[in-house]
Structure formats: C-alpha cells, structure tokens
C-alpha cells in the first residue's frame, strides 16, 4: 500500500501517515471508502481511502 501525502497535521504535527487518532465514521464509496477521523488536537479530517492508499480530503480547525 502506497502512502499518503507525507504531510502532518498543521495544528499538532500528527503525521497523516500514522494511524488516525480516532475514527469517527466510515462510509463505503464506489472507489473505496471515506473515513472521518479526529486528530489528537480535535481537528476533524476527511480521508479518502482507495486502492492507492489514503489521502486527506478536508481538515477542520481543532474543536
């Protein structure tokens, strides 16, 4: 599985390639799945998961 964007959370530095701090919900899509995760800092992230790996689609400010 190839990795990711190689970026980190701009709020707390949590690596995007690491395991999500908390998985909020998961939704199946045609290409794979969409994963809603919460970072250690409270930032909500939307991750698109497909055969090529995971990428961050959207990221909120910390709650």
Asked if 16 interacts with Zn ion (CB under 5 A), we say: no
φ, ψ at 49 (rounded to 5°): -115, 125
CA distance 35 to 56: 9
The one segment of 2-10, 23-31, 44-52, 53-61 that binds Zn ion by CB under 5 A: 2-10
Q: Please say whether the beta carbons of 54 and 43 come within 8 A.
A: no
Q: Which residues pair with 54 in a beta bridge?
A: 49
Among 8, 11, 44, 49, binds Zn ion (CB under 5 A): 11
The one segment of 22-30, 33-41, 44-52, 53-61 that binds Zn ion by CB under 5 A: 33-41
**Pair of tokens at residue 44:** 């909500």
Asked if 59 interacts with Zn ion (CB under 5 A), we say: no
Among 39, 45, 47, 54, binds Zn ion (CB under 5 A): 39
């Amino acid at each position: 599985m190839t990795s990711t964007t190689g970026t980190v959370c701009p709020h707390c530095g949590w690596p995007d390639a690491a395991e999500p701090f908390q998985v909020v919900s998961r939704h199946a899509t045609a290409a794979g799945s969409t994963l809603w995760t919460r970072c250690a800092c409270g930032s909500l992230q939307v991750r698109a998961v497909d055969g090529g790996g995971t990428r961050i689609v959207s990221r909120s400010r910390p709650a």
